[in-house]
Structure 1
Amino acid sequence: MKRFGVLLRHYLLIALSLAFLTGIILQNACPSIPPPPVLLCSSLISLILLFGHRKTHRICIPALLLLAGLLGFLHAANSAKQSLHETTIASRITGEEDTVLIGTLHTMPLFDGKSSTITIKSHYLRLKDEKAFSQVKGLIQLRLKDTWPSSFLPGDELVIRARLSRPYRFGNPGGFNYPAFLDAKNIRTVGRISSPAHIHPLDHTQSLFHRIRYLPERMRLLLKQKIDNILPPQQAAMYRALLIGDRSGLNRAQLESFKASGVFHILAISGLHLSIVASVLFAIFYWLVRRSSFLMLRISSKKMALLATIPPLFCYALLAGFQTPVLRSLIMVVIFILSFCIHRQRSPFTTLSFAALVILLIHPATLFTVSFQLSFAAVASLILILPRLSSIMQRDTTAGNSDKKTNFFTVLFKWTSAATLVSVVATVGTAPLLIYSFNRLSTVGPIANLFIEPLLCLWTLPLGLLSLPLLFISPSLGEWLLHTGGTGITAAAVIADFLAAQEYSTLWFATPAPTLIILYYLALFLYFMKFFRKTSLLLLSIVCCLFFFPPQSFFAKYSKESELVFLDVGQGSSTFLSFPGGRRILIDGGGSSSEKFNVGESIIAPYLWNKGITTLDAVVITHPDSDHYNGIPFILNRFRPPVLWINGSDGHEQTYQELLTLAEELKIRVKKPEENQILLAAEGAVLENITSPLHTESENYATGNRISSNDDSLILKFTASNKKLSCLFPGDISSKVEKELVENVEGNRLQSSFLLSPHHGSKTSNSQLFLKNVNPWHIVVSAGSFRPLLFPSPQLRRYCKENDIQLLNTAETGALTIRTDGANTTIHRFISDAN
């Protein structure tokens, strides 16, 4: 205990930073705790520290730590309160609103090849039904499906007609929290501009401070344009990411290759980039200072050169967008330089904790971003192995051997060993966070870093940095440097594509529990600090095994519950069924999607991983419409179900044919269910097929009528083991098929306690005759939030109200979970439960 107290006093800043961080986490976990009592406790502790008697010195450090934690709590609470202030634009926007706003173009416009994204600093706002503008503040992210007009530059005052809303999050456990992601950037309102014609400039004189404030963003934009004009698109997109932190031009294939090969971090400007910039600047300034005998006689050349690097580094950080890794690296480099100059070098961990404290003081929500967590975890891991790394580099393995060839290979071996060690340790330090955030871990990362990091960081990046000023001084030389550096980009892309294409280049994991991550880092810390090394190594081994074999899957085998989960996928449909004994099936998997957003990858798979699920027993596609299957290819790749059930139709889209081809390549059996066939059964729970009456030869061929894609849907019924819970899945059938079903299906086979509304609640389905025969207690509508008057239809809403049927829309409830243990049935709404 005494040793612990000594360590605590010696590393007090680290302890205070951790306490401050803990306070922010507590406020995020318990936002309902009122700040006044916390403020009162903080005041009392402050008084004790100020006026306490000498005898109380033993409680000073614990009191300081408690005070830091309370201040972290109050700071996070105050930041959250400011976002709801009545003058912020987020407080004025409750739904989708047509508005006219006046604001400043705050950042460089980003363009991904199809649409532009901008950030506006708002000043005035007028809603559709208002006659006058009201003053507001806050940042807004706007999207324009076009290239941004080149005449509008960062810092310009603009009048924009836009449709604004709050950031939307699909309401599913484990899903990406888009509002929180934007909140870390102080953005709480988003919107879209329908046409460049809805953007107009405001002519007025800008102050000198205003012009200086937006000069870095204008320079970023100018450099972006020059790079785009000089290089081919792929090289230009990569160079923009490396030099100015703009990754908007990278296509999906490029991003996936770098993620799968474990080198995606190189594309984010961080400590490595700033270290290279600082080294180049130091070499230049050191050479210049040593040219002057006057300076060398009066001041330390190294100190002068180091201090001279700070202003250019700050300017480069501004050009890079001042993102979290950049800010962390800048703070650490500046502290290192100042400490060296005053001969007060501190522990690297102290410097790192100070950088974290500064960033969290600026904006506490940054703590919950992946960028913050990965950045600090990687650097902390590298700090731990610095002594070992130094011993490798300084070890004299050439004693008694003067052969230059041997020396060359010895030096090469040492550098390769050191680089491999750095890559492995960084991976070990960030692995749990990578798995938690992305559910994947690259196995080829250390190898990829050995080849790609030197190409991009020691060849492409330095040449690119040198080209930036030369593009204005000597354009031809600057262009030559960019083209020369572009060869490194091409070579790196080839290596990344090759490594990413290997079968086991990426391992996929279920989402680990936060307690498992804490245990991992605790065991790692104890091992490196040489406390209980055997016990900590055993604990680390057990924890690593639990990452590969999630405890949830083990306990699911002994579960007696049945579970239906209607996922919130926007305008589409996807339902997950869990049977007693842990058997699982997915019915449909389609919804909102775009070139950079796939419903399978971004919604369905994260939900399954969050449940600890890595395999499925079967997947069903009720019919080949994209809003029912466009996420299935990713699910087949990652969860490898042994069978894929389809309705037998070839579909009318090429992507559906590609899906069937993929299933064949993965050796997944593609089957069409027969009438009344059971698709899956376990301990009394059954999913069976009820064949559509239109699936007859006379209807298809004798009469010459062609069944529509919607009417060709598989019609399924799930019945739990207690027979009290059942659900009918009719796909997108129309009222015509509904009528045939009622007339042809025997007995009460259609009756179900839950009904997934046909065709997302459309008026062309959900006939009264059909609803009366199904006689559900609850009707579930799987639909998006942007057409509420059509899905569900007014007729369906009225029918449910008149017949006392609860209508549940996933756009309003989020993921809807119905669970039964044989005796009791519960319904959980993700959105209301999360709130």
Structure 2
Amino acid sequence: MPEVISRLEQRFRRRPLVWISLAFAGGLWLNGWAFAARPLPAAGLAGLPAAAAALLCWSCRLGRRPVPLALLLPVLFLGLGLVRGQTAAPELPYPASLAPFFARPGTVFAARIQAPPDFYPDKTRLQLALEYAEVDGRRIPVEGGVQLSIGQSSEDWTIGSRLLAPLTLKHFHNFGTPGAFDFEWFMGARGLYARAYVKTDGELTPLEAAAVGPFQRVSDAAAAAIDRRRQWLRQWLHQVLDPPAAALAEALFLGYRHGIEPPFRDALNRAGVTHLLAISGLHLGLVAVSLFWLGQTAAGWLLPRLLRRSSDRPAAWGVALAGALLYAVISGLALPTWRAALMLICLAAATLSYRRPDSLSFLAAAALLMLAADPNALWQVSFQLSFASFVGILLVYPRFQPLLERCQPVLGRWPPRLLEPMVSAFFLSLAVSLVILPIVAYHFHGVSVAGLLANAVLVPLVGLLVLPLGLLGMALAPALPWIAEPILRVDGRLLDLVRVLVGWFGDWSWSYLWIGLLPLWALIGCYGLLALLLARGPEHRRRRLALAAVVALALVSGVLGTARGRLATGSLEVDVIDIGQGSSTLLIFPQGRAVLVDGGGTWDNAFDMGRQVLAPFLWWRGIRRLDLVVLSHDHPDHGNGLCFILSQFTVGEYWETGYTERSDGTTATAKIAGRRRVPVRHLTDLPRAIELDGCTLRVLHPEPRQSDPAAPPGDLNNTSLVLAVRFGNTQVLIPGDIDQSIEKRLARGEAVSGEGLETLLIAAHHGSKRSSGTDWLDRLGPRAVLISCGFENGFGFPAEATLERFAARQIPVYRTDRSGSLYAVSDGSRWRFRTHREDSQQ
């Protein structure tokens, strides 16, 4: 035991910052995992660090260490992390002072812009810190932040500006599906608890600056001046470059990343080069190295006598550090930029104090400082990827040095020397990928296979040509625009080349591999396997490799086991998936067959509902193959989410009416199904009834038309496929978006009846007042109604009149906007119900 303690102390003394940072992060993790829902009382919260601190003081006072320092300090920082995590937790769902104003539309607020504006192609977004609300001539203090979207902005709003605005506050809301991104927490961690929208900034009234102290006044003035310069440079980029190149340039040089169009953003993701847009160590490192060299050169030319008495390194470091930090500030100081800037400061401090730099200690110091300032950063994907990348560079990349040395005799010759940056970039990308891929797969459910090759080409191109030329052009733009513009136009051609290469790599059919949901235990296992493979020392090498093989086999078996698909349950399961304002219903039949009816989606498809919400839900359900996909009618809130599903899942058949309002007469979903050779059936060749696992699936509406089936007969909503599934003495009806005119016609027919059956009804048209009429409800006599509608949607769904009709018949109502995803299970005799939010609270 003493030998173990001695070894532990030796390792601790070698890199104390690493162990302290890990302990502090462990405290934050413990708080988020165990105490997020039930915070510790104040006494218990302070107990652990206080006890460790008292024990540490007692040990030092005695002049000996009965308890090893290697144990005391990590325990102390573990407790400090726990305390810091509790104090920094966002006040969810919103601060108490903000609560009354969600029910008061158009309330006038005084607010301060607390972050640089974000520019989108169709809007500008401001982050406001509310100060007070004006109600009946009184000023009521209000706390909390608001995300304000401005449709058309003509003013140059800057950080620190104060304004008066009439705002209708809306809540942030999570999708009620398992494993959904916690958007409410994410915004709350940034101090934002509500959203609002104004058509133009003409509705906003600028206010004078508040009375503050001299330090705050100087700080606000400096921040506003930097923000104005960033916006001026952004406008200059758009004046000189074409729109696509300007959008990429403002992301690379200034940190404005929302101007990039979604198709190119998707290509960046598929090619595995999204990190190029995150201003981080690559960008700041090149700036610092260039300025350091310029500083040394200038000192040698201008101050040769001074260099006889002192070194030029302090002056060169001062120039490099000042320039790099200025670039970091101009770029918006995003999380990767913060990390790189802190690393640079630590490196400069160590070099100027003539200490040997230790990269892992620098990384640990940067992590400790960032987590102490913002504990919630630990749970952000960008923070995890940022530091994991550096771990790959520091620990894994040196393992590839022997391979690089073997390539050196070949690369040292001319012209193969030109390939040396690409070979180095390939091995650097490989080292980083080995460390970050488990995190990427865990959060984004897939990995880029093309990333290794794409980074080998694009990292040298961007790092050695695009970035230096762009920064030089922007530095010269204010004073020498006649020199800066030609430089930037040359850089624009290189940016066009970057776009072409990204599109080329992203278009490869195998460029991106969708994995599905990666369990937490698999994530931990991946890093355990990596640690076994990278462990140093020849001792027990065979044992390590054998253990690594066992871990790898267990990981593969476990992941494949979670994706084996649905097992037969003997029940009919109906899931109404919470996809916001839209509709998507999953049917799982008694022997495990799966049918998906509609996929939700946004009207402009800016948010990929299929990728972000629907696919993770299906993976959580253990579904990778759908026997049938049905589009009820070609509206975006029903069909856009199916595009990703038809592209990435194995699909047996695809059904639709064929009615569309598109100019080419073909739905986007049918095109995707055709490209993947999925059998497509339109209304004219749909079977009116099929048997699936002892259930009968019937198509009740519309009737097939023999002439011009692509021409929609009137309202496209009323052409919705109406499906009925019967299992034993139970049935479920999925009517799409039909209104009462179609409901009445179906109710008068013999195909629809609730007599002798326990009927589950999916409300037509999201519960609008024109649907779910009295004839329809009386004919069916439903056991319950499930409504798919968006939280605080702009249509007012479900309508009060419709809810009153349900209440008059004492029909239980379940809604996705209140309860999240809805689950119903039939054993053939009766329906049982549960909801996502009920499951989450258990």
TM score, norm. by length of structure 2: 0.90
Distance 2:237 2:745 in 1: 63
Query: Percent identity, aligned pairs only?
Result: 25
Task: Give the structure 2 partner of residue 681 of structure 1.
Answer: 692
**Letter of the structure 2 residue corresponding to residue 631 of structure 1:** G
**Among 48, 65, 70, which residue is 1:61 paired with?**
70
Q: Is 1:714–1:731's contact at 8 Å kept on the other side of the alignment?
A: yes
- Offset of residue 798 of structure 1: 2.1
Q: Using a 3 Å threshold, how does the CA distance of structure 1 residues 153 and 560 change in structure 2: closer, same or farther?
A: same
Task: Give the structure 1 partner of residue 344 of structure 2.
Answer: 333
- For residues 152-551 of structure 1, the aligned pairs below 5 Å read 152-203=157-208, 207-291=217-301, 292-392=303-403, 398=409, 407-409=413-415, 411-412=417-418, 414-530=420-536, 532-539=543-550, 541-542=552-553, 545=556, 550-551=560-561
- The alignment yields a C-alpha RMSD, in angstroms, of 3.1
Q: Is 1:619–1:645's contact at 8 Å kept on the other side of the alignment?
A: yes
- Offset of residue 519 of structure 1: 0.8
Distance 1:214 1:763 in 2: 50
Distance 1:204 1:375 in 2: 37
Task: Give the structure 2 partner of residue 19 of structure 1.
Answer: 23
**Among 708, 719, 731, which residue is 2:736 paired with?**
731
- Offset of residue 239 of structure 1: 0.9
Q: Cα deviations across residues 233-263 of structure 1 (Å, max 9, x unaligned)?
A: 1111111111111112111122122111111
- Offset of residue 745 of structure 1: 2.2
Task: Give the structure 1 partner of residue 647 of structure 2.
Answer: 637
Q: Cα deviations across residues 189-236 of structure 1 (Å, max 9, x unaligned)?
A: 321113322012224588434212322222211111111111111111
1:740 and 2:745 are equivalent in the alignment: yes
Distance 2:107 2:578 in 1: 28
- For residues 68-79 of structure 1, the aligned pairs below 5 Å read 68-79=77-88
- Offset of residue 489 of structure 1: 0.6
- Offset of residue 66 of structure 1: 2.9
- Extract unaligned runs of 5+ from structure 2: 212-216
**Letter of the structure 2 residue corresponding to residue 105 of structure 1:** I
Distance 1:646 1:656 in 2: 11
Q: Is 2:784–2:812's contact at 8 Å kept on the other side of the alignment?
A: yes
Task: Give the structure 1 partner of residue 629 of structure 2.
Answer: 619
- Offset of residue 101 of structure 1: 1.9
Distance 1:88 1:446 in 2: 51
**Among 793, 799, 803, which residue is 1:793 paired with?**
799
Distance 1:320 1:631 in 2: 35
Q: Is 2:700–2:724's contact at 8 Å kept on the other side of the alignment?
A: no
Q: Using a 3 Å threshold, how does the CA distance of structure 1 residues 6 and 503 change in structure 2: closer, same or farther?
A: same
Q: Is 1:434–1:441's contact at 8 Å kept on the other side of the alignment?
A: yes
Q: Using a 3 Å threshold, how does the CA distance of structure 1 residues 6 and 804 change in structure 2: closer, same or farther?
A: farther
1:113 and 2:124 are equivalent in the alignment: no
Task: Give the structure 2 partner of residue 695 of structure 1.
Answer: 703
**Stretch of structure 1 that moved more, 534-543 or 485-494:** 534-543
**Letter of the structure 1 residue corresponding to residue 340 of structure 2:** S
Q: Cα deviations across residues 304-337 of structure 1 (Å, max 9, x unaligned)?
A: 3123322222222111111110111111111112
- Offset of residue 770 of structure 1: 1.9
Distance 2:407 2:650 in 1: 52
Q: Is 2:155–2:201's contact at 8 Å kept on the other side of the alignment?
A: no
Q: Is 1:95–1:165's contact at 8 Å kept on the other side of the alignment?
A: no
Distance 1:436 1:656 in 2: 36
Q: Cα deviations across residues 63-118 of structure 1 (Å, max 9, x unaligned)?
A: 432332222222121112667785865x5554674322222333443332211112
Distance 2:53 2:834 in 1: 44
- Offset of residue 282 of structure 1: 0.8
Q: Is 1:27–1:76's contact at 8 Å kept on the other side of the alignment?
A: yes
Q: Using a 3 Å threshold, how does the CA distance of structure 1 residues 15 and 819 change in structure 2: closer, same or farther?
A: farther
Q: Is 1:742–1:773's contact at 8 Å kept on the other side of the alignment?
A: yes
- What SS does the corresponding residue of 2:337 show, helix, strand or coil? helix
**Letter of the structure 2 residue corresponding to residue 446 of structure 1:** L
Distance 1:293 1:430 in 2: 47
**Among 768, 773, 787, which residue is 1:767 paired with?**
773
Q: Is 1:235–1:490's contact at 8 Å kept on the other side of the alignment?
A: yes
Task: Give the structure 2 partner of residue 817 of structure 1.
Answer: 823
**Letter of the structure 2 residue corresponding to residue 68 of structure 1:** F
Q: Cα deviations across residues 477-532 of structure 1 (Å, max 9, x unaligned)?
A: 11111111112111111111112112111111202011110110111112212475
**Among 43, 50, 54, which residue is 2:50 paired with?**
43
Q: Cα deviations across residues 20-77 of structure 1 (Å, max 9, x unaligned)?
A: 2222222222321424223223322322222246776335433432332222222121
Distance 1:10 1:303 in 2: 27
Q: Using a 3 Å threshold, how does the CA distance of structure 1 residues 833 and 216 change in structure 2: closer, same or farther?
A: farther
- For residues 120-139 of structure 1, the aligned pairs below 5 Å read 120-126=128-134, 130-139=136-145
Q: Using a 3 Å threshold, how does the CA distance of structure 1 residues 83 and 806 change in structure 2: closer, same or farther?
A: closer
Q: Is 1:258–1:500's contact at 8 Å kept on the other side of the alignment?
A: yes
**Letter of the structure 2 residue corresponding to residue 264 of structure 1:** T
Distance 1:571 1:162 in 2: 23
Distance 1:39 1:819 in 2: 48
- What SS does the corresponding residue of 1:159 show, helix, strand or coil? strand
Q: Is 1:278–1:313's contact at 8 Å kept on the other side of the alignment?
A: yes
- Extract unaligned runs of 5+ from structure 1: none
Q: Using a 3 Å threshold, how does the CA distance of structure 1 residues 687 and 175 change in structure 2: closer, same or farther?
A: farther
- What SS does the corresponding residue of 1:617 show, helix, strand or coil? strand
Task: Give the structure 1 partner of residue 214 of structure 2.
Answer: none
**Among 672, 675, 686, which residue is 1:665 paired with?**
675
**Letter of the structure 1 residue corresponding to residue 823 of structure 2:** T
**Letter of the structure 2 residue corresponding to residue 17 of structure 1:** S
- For residues 94-109 of structure 1, the aligned pairs below 5 Å read 94=102, 97-109=105-117
**Stretch of structure 1 that moved more, 801-810 or 565-574:** 801-810
Task: Give the structure 1 partner of residue 719 of structure 2.
Answer: 712
- What SS does the corresponding residue of 1:805 show, helix, strand or coil? coil
- What SS does the corresponding residue of 1:322 show, helix, strand or coil? coil
- Offset of residue 786 of structure 1: 2.8
**Letter of the structure 1 residue corresponding to residue 353 of structure 2:** I
Q: Using a 3 Å threshold, how does the CA distance of structure 1 residues 456 and 165 change in structure 2: closer, same or farther?
A: same
**Letter of the structure 1 residue corresponding to residue 23 of structure 2:** A
**Letter of the structure 2 residue corresponding to residue 10 of structure 1:** R
**Letter of the structure 2 residue corresponding to residue 709 of structure 1:** L
Q: Is 1:527–1:536's contact at 8 Å kept on the other side of the alignment?
A: no
